Amino acid sequence: MVEIPTVQPLRVYRLAGTQREMGRQFGALAAADGGWHAALDLYANRPTMAATMAAASMPHRFRPIVERVADAFLAPQRRRLQAIRSKQFPEYTERTRETFRAMGFDDKAISATFVMEVLQNLVGLASRTGMFSRALNATAVASCSSLAVWGSATVDGNLRHARNFDFPGGSIWDRAPLVTFCTPDAGLRYGYVSARGLDAPGITCFNEAGLTFTVHTRFHREVGYSGPSVIDLGHELIRTCTTLDEVAATARRLGATSTWGLICSSAAERSAIIVETTAKRVEVIEAEAGADHLSCTNSYLHPAFQNGETPPAPDFRIDSLDRRCQLEAFVDKYRGSIDTESLQWLLGDYGGVDIVDLTTDVQRVDGTSVVAIDTVASIVSVPDERRIDVSVGPCPTGFGPYASVPWTWDGPVGVCEDELEIGPQRGRSHHGAPLSDTERAVSHRIAEIAHRHLEKAPPRASLTALSNLIDELPNEPALRRIVGQLSILVGDPAAALPHLDHALTLEGTPGLREKLLLARSRAQSLLGDERAAQADRDEILRADPAHAPLEYASARRESAKRPTQRSLRNMTIDLLHLDAR
């Protein structure tokens, strides 16, 4: 049985001085603490995280060579962005250099800060040129969910900002959580949430003026190599801005080198905005007059960007919209009573919208909800109480428990040794009940299996590990589906059928049911039962193709030309969504 990873105690650092001095301080503290090697290896050493994420969309046997090619292709892009950064933000460049030196890395490693820019730009370029078409079936992409609430939405009118950070760094980011408070020699005092060894101020951050920022991946054709990285953009915004108008003006002035959505909330103004970027322009979405919340996931919301949006996988936009619908439904249901604890429950809630169970005993630890297998950081910022609650549990981190971290800029540089208050476990099933210990444990184990898959564990190893979880959650349709799909991939369609048959007695959700039908049709076809296979394809073709575009296209194609075992060996494994396609 796969073991649930151990999470190191949450660390809190205080830094002060110039950016260069704070970089040196951070590096020294991280080097003394330890526990940072996996995180830095993820970004700085080959295969880099960007190459791993790009190669994850390929059949397993091709991934090592694709990683090498991707690293060779992406390295010049990172160096180009680093050269531009040195001119735009020399003080931030020096900060990163000092951090890396203190931890034993040479200066070449600092271009690793552009991991997401080069990956998102690769997807954008692929959509424009038609090259690397498999990249548009990417499986390891970041996807996050944020919700800012205030006024009539909350129990006391105060603003709160909740966020799940979903990133293919499970069993790395979540294993060593870190909160860092910075007192710069110029600008506002600010803080950020990351992991040991990762000095990334612009991703999940807050400042003494009561602003909170959380960053979300976007994908678009308009990519380039001339603007700031999202880490530097977020860093500059959180260090210099006190109001939402200042955030909007500064973002428009600076621009970005890639495709992002940054939601920023202001406790003083009781409002929030979303800054959306491509390499060519910046647009701002404001909360409507009288609004009491604003939600953000991973699809462009501004009409100017929607035409050129390039989702990296067929389900990406559907998943993003479903998560945003869940956030909106949460506000509608609990308006007037939302507090910090209810937001913690939300971040661990499997209750996505439009889920259809065919029986009353369906279990779910995957699906269209804000909980993701790769949720590596979960926070609730409470500026009016001058604190941020940070999950200290393993991936998916939305289950908590949450440590309450006071905003503590005052005090000496170094590790803050104050004892932190840690609350209870969270997590809610799609039925609305608290998660059982078994459901929570299986979720954590699936996250670890997914991480090992990204590290190139063989498909048979993933199949064995996932099969061992079936007895614990026998009525989890997504778990049955991926076991069936992997059985087909390794050449055992007969073993797949019982899992797929049982899952289809449970799953009625549009889109998810079509995935099961396609998998079963393939198993039946390989076993020679073409009549049964075509019956499943016909059910897919009668459904709305908008719910499952890839499955609809595959059913049409395979109705004309039966799949072969050889062709199905090339399925892409997406363990982050318990799927193979």
Contact criterion met (CB below 8 Å) for 16 and 22: yes
> Which pLDDT value is given to residue 71?
87
Give the start-to-end residue ranges of the domains of the chain: 1-437, 458-580
Q: Select 1-437's CATH number: 3.60.60.10, 2.130.10.10, 3.90.1280.20, 3.40.50.300.
A: 3.60.60.10
Six-digit token string for 96: 């990163």
pLDDT (mean) for 5-29: 96
| Count of C-beta atoms within a 10 Å radius of residue 84 | 17
Peptide bond into 177 cis (omega under 30): no
**Residues 240-290: pLDDT tens digits?**
999 999 999 999 999 999 999 999 999 999 999 999 999 999 999 999 999
Residue 407 has pLDDT above 90, yes or no: yes
Place of tokens 């899952």: 503
Six-digit token string for 108: 């070449």
Contact criterion met (CB below 8 Å) for 524 and 516: no
> Which pLDDT value is given to residue 135?
40
383 or 1, which is more confident: 383
139 or 431, which is more confident: 431
Burial class (CB in 10 A: 0-12, 13-18, 19+), 395: buried
Percent of residues, the chain, with pLDDT higher than 90: 78
DSSP one-letter string for 482-528: HHHHHHHHTT-HHHHHHHHHHHHTTB--TTHHHHHHHHHHHHHHHTT
Using alpha carbons only, what angle is made at residue 444 by residues 439 and 445, rounded to the nearest 5 degrees?
95
CATH code reported for the domain at 458-580: 1.25.40.10
Contact criterion met (CB below 8 Å) for 151 and 292: yes
Q: Residue 161 pairs with which residues in a beta bridge? A: 148, 381
Contact criterion met (CB below 8 Å) for 309 and 219: yes
430 half-sphere exposure, CB direction, 13 A CA radius:
23
**Residues 128-168: pLDDT tens digits?**
765 444 444 555 566 899 999 999 999 999 999 999 999 88
**Residues 296-305: pLDDT tens digits?**
999 999 999 9
Contact criterion met (CB below 8 Å) for 154 and 160: yes
Six-digit token string for 343: 């937001």
Place of tokens 């076993």: 527
Kindly state the helix (H) or strand (E) to which residue 160 belongs, with its residue range.
Answer: strand 160-166
**Residues 195-223: pLDDT tens digits?**
999 999 999 999 999 999 999 999 999 98
What is the rounded average pLDDT for all residues in the chain? 93
Rounded Cα gap, residues 260 and 257, in angstroms: 9
Q: Residue 284 pairs with which residues in a beta bridge? A: 275
> Which pLDDT value is given to residue 131?
47
Rounded Cα gap, residues 477 and 515, in angstroms: 11
Identify which of 377, 25, 381 has the alpha carbon closest to the alpha carbon of residue 176.
Answer: 377
**Residues 550-563: pLDDT tens digits?**
999 999 999 999 99
> Which pLDDT value is given to residue 133?
43
24-38, 180-194, 456-470: which has the minimum mean pLDDT? 24-38
pLDDT (mean) for 481-502: 98
Q: Which residues are CB-contacts of 161 (< 8 A; sequence separation ≥ 6)?
A: 146, 147, 148, 212, 214, 263, 265, 272, 380, 381, 383
Identify which of 270, 227, 277, 219 has the alpha carbon closest to the alpha carbon of residue 248.
Answer: 277
Six-digit token string for 148: 């800012």
DSSP SS3 for 129:
helix
Identify which of 458, 454, 503 has the alpha carbon closest to the alpha carbon of residue 482.
Answer: 503
Contact criterion met (CB below 8 Å) for 401 and 427: no
pLDDT (mean) for 489-506: 98
Length of the chain: 581
**Residues 327-375: pLDDT tens digits?**
999 999 999 999 999 999 999 999 999 999 999 999 999 878 999 999 9
C-alpha radius of gyration, the chain, whole number: 23
> Which pLDDT value is given to residue 138?
59
Q: Residue 149 pairs with which residues in a beta bridge? A: 160, 293
Residue 173 has pLDDT above 90, yes or no: no
> Strands (DSSP E) along 40-101, which ranges?
none
CA distances from 237 to 199, 201, 290 (A): 16, 10, 25
Q: What is the dihedral of CA 440, 7, 367, 161, to 10 degrees?
A: 110
